[in-house]
Structure 1
Amino acid sequence: MLEERRNPNAPQADPELVAAFRALPVANISDNLHRIVGAVGVRPFHDGTAMAGTALTVRVRAGDNRAIHEALEMVRPEDVIVVDGGGDESRALVGEIMTSVAQMRGAAGMVLDSAVRDVEALGRSSFPCFARAGIHLGPYKNGPGEINVPVTIGGMLVNPGDIVVGDADGVVAFSPDIAPALLEATRAQSDKEAEILEGIARGHYTGAYAAPAKA
């Protein structure tokens, strides 16, 4: 049941780890999360700039963005505002003004399991914004809503303080506790793929590629 909870922000993830993940493909991170972690149906609405940061989570009633406005007063530089809108696409929860406020306050991006509007303006922006759909109909502002609680985005669980990474392929989230090992494994895969692509460019490919591998 949706309540009116307002919990303190979780500690932010190590900025060096966050920066390192921002430089890596989400597909490779996903592979090393056993291909079972990811927000299904959520796609970028901005210019494709990569995103990484610490989750500040919000859960709202379908079509209502009051709690998102409140979260904007709590956002810290390098936070990603992650909004569980229940997958509702009937009303936009944010648009150009709210994403501009988030960007002004240093947020690393927004991820919404719901709709957005001002799609053309968002598409020109480098501020990362991921959502399920675009629609012109605006939101209600009545509540209720919760801040810094576990949320679900496209079937993916996100806890406050998780590291959230997004690019043109979509969004993944994971606990900072596993981040160092995940970073090492993802870098190793990225290096291996670069080696394979170099071989293909030279006209050579054996088909030998140890898992995890891309589809």
Structure 2
Amino acid sequence: MIESVPTSRGIQGYSYTSVTLKKIATVIPAKLQRQNYFFWKLLFEQIFSRYKLMGIVDGSEPCPAQFLTDKEGNDLTDQINPAFEIWHDKDQAMLTWMRSTCSEHVLPFTAGLASSRELWLNLEKRFQVVGVSSEYRRNLAAAALATTDICDAHPDLLASGDLRLVPQVFQKYGKWQAFAGPVVTLKVFEDNTLVIELLSTKGEGRVLVVDGGGSMRRAVTGGMLARSAEIMGWAGIVINGCVRDVDEINECEIGLRALATCPVRPIKNDSGSGQKHVPVSIGGVLIHEGEWLYADGDGILVSSSELSI
């Protein structure tokens, strides 16, 4: 328990006083670095909204006056305003939560900041990345080629192996049935630290292909990561593993393929166990960084180069 927060003061619904630093550490899967700021922010927005604290950092719930006043409006400096005490306790709890999730490289940017809003705005000023528009995402989906047309137009590439069919073992999630783009590869096992790192950066219409070792024991992507991928402009995600928060994922304007769902969260490894930008094998099909992936309701194709029909 955060000792500075008196447990007798709760709020309607969820009580912020029940939040411990240990609980925050389980919700925020990686220490804040420059490259994962966007995902970190989304997670804290979810926490603050759940506990009705968002107004403190966005400025819509300003700090009440510190002292009560008399009939003439003069401060009674010996009488602390109870509303101020409650607001201040919440604010300092939030400041502690955020600082507890900062990496050693980010902590210096929190020095001397006395309120959660000051810290929130300072981090946003330093690390904020602008997401893409809804029109951009719609154009990504519209640009995807039909896999049947690709196969009909390029039988020679199918025969040579420059165009490969990925085995039909994936379930479909997300709003977009069809997506396409150059491939970015990851190889992980039940640890999504590197997935967070990449999906927090600009996608630029690319497709993240994650070899999760086919594990059915833990999910490596959930609703918040799908939301991050959507906002940052990733065209799609293909996971040789599991996802969770399916209802949230299905509300995202992105295409996602995974083997199945699993409610168990991934493990957390601050060192980011796994490999980036290496060849991965999905269902026996070798996929290299920079190749092109095309997916729709009929299947998934991987091409050595961008195709036209």
- In the alignment, structure 1 residue 148 sits paired with structure 2 residue 277: yes
List alignment gaps of at least 5 residues for structure 1. 1-17, 188-215
Greater RCO between the two (CA within 8 Å, min separation 6)? 1
- In the alignment, structure 1 residue 168 sits paired with structure 2 residue 297: yes
Displacement of 1:103: 1.1
Contact 1:56 1:75 in 2 (8 A): no
- In the alignment, structure 1 residue 129 sits paired with structure 2 residue 287: no
Among candidates 284, 288, 291, match of residue 159 of structure 1: 288
Cα separation, partners in 2 of 1:45 and 1:158, compared to 1, 3 Å: same
* Distance across 2 between alignment mates of 1:174 and 1:104: 26
Alignment of 1:44-123 (within 5 A): 44-61=172-189, 63-123=190-250
Cα separation, partners in 2 of 1:153 and 1:74, compared to 1, 3 Å: farther
Cα separation, partners in 2 of 1:87 and 1:107, compared to 1, 3 Å: same
Secondary structure of the residue aligned to 2:166 is coil
* Amino acid in the other structure paired with 1:156: V
Write the deviation string for residues 114-146 of structure 1: whole angstroms up to 9, x where unpaired. Answer: 000111222333311111101111101224111
What does residue 25 of structure 1 align with?
146
Contact 2:145 2:180 in 1 (8 A): no
* Amino acid in the other structure paired with 2:288: N
* Greater share of residues in helix: 2
Displacement of 1:20: 11
Q: TM-score, normalised by structure 2?
A: 0.48
Displacement of 1:108: 0.7
What does residue 5 of structure 1 align with?
none
List alignment gaps of at least 5 residues for structure 2. 1-138
Cα separation, partners in 2 of 1:21 and 1:28, compared to 1, 3 Å: farther
Displacement of 1:25: 2.0
- Tell which structure's C-alpha radius of gyration is larger: 2
Secondary structure of the residue aligned to 1:113 is strand
* Distance across 2 between alignment mates of 1:22 and 1:79: 12
Contact 2:141 2:178 in 1 (8 A): no
Contact 1:58 1:71 in 2 (8 A): no
Q: How many residues align?
A: 162
| Structure 1 segments (4+ residues) deviating >6 Å | 18-21
* Distance across 2 between alignment mates of 1:96 and 1:169: 25
Contact 2:292 2:304 in 1 (8 A): yes
Give the percent of matched residue pairs that are identical in Structure 1 and Structure 2: 33
Contact 2:141 2:176 in 1 (8 A): no
What's the RMSD between the two structures over aligned residues? Answer: 2.5
* Amino acid in the other structure paired with 2:296: D
Secondary structure of the residue aligned to 2:265 is coil
Cα separation, partners in 2 of 1:77 and 1:100, compared to 1, 3 Å: same
* Distance across 1 between alignment mates of 2:278 and 2:195: 13
